């Protein structure tokens, strides 16, 4: 590996785990913070300069956009696990195949998402009872957004490859560049050109295109086994199957998880109030900031676990989990309390309407404050995926999160009919899932140790 590559990479197998996890995670936290901040710029700009209807229109698309993109986000996680494990195994030929196969999957997936989004955006928005006064604006936003799907997926798969070798710095730099561009273009298109939701959507597509170009350029210039060579872009079937085996359950989980959120969004839309939709959108954006540490530490859990498993350092896997679990719980608890205490101030960045701020505080108290439960079981799931166990945690996640939420929305909410009765299903489903995933992790960890012991004795 070249010295240049080494400067960006982290040795996840040797050295102090806590220190290396911090070195890996801190750039990721900044990346997540900036990504959420720049994404929030869409809602802030339209809320402040285009009005409540535009804010509600952009917010109403969030659950559907995540639903449609979730499958491919899961597959990019599969790329991260496979490439990290192969780096631990020191298998350059298979690393090369994994890199080029993954980027091809991103290109093909981007074309699919573009066509799907253009054809079915209107139908999906109608299915979740999007208020009639904002549905046309929401449809316009979604169609433009999905026009840039190729850029989004190429960046996600490329960034997963970089992070698999411990390079979390360059994805941060790329995001800073594209994010600043996104904010500038948001202001130009919305404030100067008065383009409302179309302006923020176009700005997003352009900035995603820049980030995709930057991540591809970095991979082309790298001189280690993860180097991208355009003439070698093709799908290796065994590698693709392995990426799908790990990533597909995560993708399905994301889709079904999103489906439950779409049902929740539909219940929120049933109040037929743009004030409630706008408040929910603003509060949801603020919740993302609570999740910054969780996203970074769960990514560290997956990547460190995968590399140590590939290198045969089985004794490190439990240590990695406990370290990231403690860091995740601490960060989510602190941020949850912080955004609730200063919720009125933060909501004020999104809207000038007092009613929207007051309604947004309801979600923050019932959801953001309890995100620590979500973050904790996410670490258990990330650890199991890093060990190669992806399907069973997904099945139990679907029951614990989606099943309980759907049952709640279909049974309790119609009887009570309040906004609070929708939001309370979040902490309830998280609590049950936390217990289930914790028990499963103990079983998976023991099974993994037993399996590798048997293999080692058979080879002796």
pLDDT of res. 14: 85
Cα separations (Å) of 232 from 108, 228, 240, 244, 439?
Answer: 16, 8, 15, 20, 44
Q: What CA–CA distance (Å, rounded) separates 350 from 55?
A: 8
Closest CA to 221 of 273, 162, 303, 175: 162
pLDDT of res. 3: 41
pLDDT of res. 132: 81
Q: What CA–CA distance (Å, rounded) separates 1 from 384?
A: 29
- In this structure, is residue 292 part of a structural domain? yes
pLDDT of res. 417: 85
Question: In the block, which residue shows the tokens 């953001």?
Answer: 368
- In this structure, is residue 4 part of a structural domain? no
- In this structure, is residue 6 part of a structural domain? no
pLDDT of res. 217: 95
Closest CA to 12 of 226, 164, 160: 164
Burial of 22 (0-12, 13-18, 19+ CB in 10 A): middle
- Walking along the chain (460 residues) 10 residues at a time, the average pLDDT comes out as 53 87 89 76 77 78 78 87 88 93 94 91 84 87 92 94 90 89 90 88 93 95 91 93 87 75 81 84 86 90 91 92 96 94 89 87 93 94 90 86 88 90 93 94 92 64
pLDDT of res. 351: 80
- In this structure, is residue 456 part of a structural domain? no
For the question of whether the overall pTM of this predicted structure is more than 0.95, the answer is no
Q: Do residues 302 and 81 touch, judged by C-beta distance below 8 A?
A: yes
Q: What CA–CA distance (Å, rounded) separates 304 from 11?
A: 9
- Domain of 44 in residue numbering reads as 15-450
- In this structure, is residue 457 part of a structural domain? no
pLDDT of res. 2: 41
Closest CA to 208 of 67, 113, 95, 84: 113
- In this structure, is residue 256 part of a structural domain? yes
pLDDT of res. 336: 94
- In this structure, is residue 281 part of a structural domain? yes
Number of domains in the chain: 1
- In this structure, is residue 446 part of a structural domain? yes
pLDDT of res. 454: 64
- Name residues whose C-beta falls within 8 Å of residue 19's C-beta, 6 or more positions apart in sequence: none
Question: What angle (nearest 5°) sits at the alpha carbon of residue 370, between those of residues 61 and 17?
Answer: 100
- Name residues whose C-beta falls within 8 Å of residue 415's C-beta, 6 or more positions apart in sequence: none
């Amino acid at each position: 590996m070249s010295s240049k590559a080494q400067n960006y990479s982290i040795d996840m197998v040797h050295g102090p785990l806590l220190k290396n996890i911090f070195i890996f995670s801190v750039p990721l936290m900044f990346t997540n913070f900036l990504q959420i901040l720049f994404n929030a710029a869409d809602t802030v700009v339209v809320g402040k300069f285009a009005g409540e209807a535009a804010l509600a229109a952009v917010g109403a698309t969030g659950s559907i956009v995540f639903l449609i993109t979730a499958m491919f986000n899961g597959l990019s996680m599969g790329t991260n696990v496979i490439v990290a494990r192969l780096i631990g195994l020191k298998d350059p030929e298979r690393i090369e195949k994994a890199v080029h196969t993954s980027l091809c999957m991103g290109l093909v997936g981007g074309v699919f998402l573009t066509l799907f989004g253009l054809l079915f955006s209107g139908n999906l928005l109608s299915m979740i009872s999007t208020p009639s006064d904002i549905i046309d604006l929401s449809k316009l936003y979604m169609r433009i957004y999905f026009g840039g799907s190729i850029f989004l997926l190429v960046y996600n798969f490329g960034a997963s490859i970089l992070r698999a070798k411990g390079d979390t710095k360059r994805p941060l730099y790329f995001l800073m560049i594209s994010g600043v561009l996104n904010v500038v273009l948001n202001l130009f298109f919305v404030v100067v050109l008065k383009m409302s939701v179309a302006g923020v959507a176009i700005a997003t597509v352009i900035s995603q295109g820049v980030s995709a170009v930057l991540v591809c350029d970095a991979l082309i210039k790298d001189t280690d086994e993860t180097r991208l060579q355009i003439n070698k872009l093709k799908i290796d079937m065994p590698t693709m199957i392995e990426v799908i085996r790990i990533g597909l359950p995560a993708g399905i989980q994301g889709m079904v998880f999103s489906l439950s959120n779409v049902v929740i969004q539909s219940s929120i839309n049933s109040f037929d109030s743009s004030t409630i939709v706008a408040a929910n959108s603003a509060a949801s954006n603020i919740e993302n900031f609570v999740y910054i540490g969780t996203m970074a530490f769960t990514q560290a859990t997956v990547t460190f676990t995968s590399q140590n498993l590939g290198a045969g350092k089985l004794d490190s896997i439990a240590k990695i989990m406990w370290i990231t679990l403690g860091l995740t719980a601490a960060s989510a608890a602190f941020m949850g309390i912080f955004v609730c205490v200063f919720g009125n101030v933060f909501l004020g960045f999104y809207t000038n309407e007092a009613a929207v701020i007051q309604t947004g505080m309801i979600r923050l108290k019932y959801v953001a404050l309890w995100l620590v439960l979500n973050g904790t079981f996410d670490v258990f799931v990330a650890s199991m995926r890093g060990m190669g166990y992806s399907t069973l945690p997904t099945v139990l996640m679907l029951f614990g999160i989606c099943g309980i939420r759907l049952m709640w929305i279909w049974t309790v909410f119609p009887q009570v009919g309040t906004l609070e009765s929708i939001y309370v299903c979040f902490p309830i489903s998280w609590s049950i899932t936390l217990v289930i995933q914790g028990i499963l992790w103990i079983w998976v960890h023991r099974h993994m140790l037993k399996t590798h012991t048997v293999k080692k004795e058979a080879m002796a």
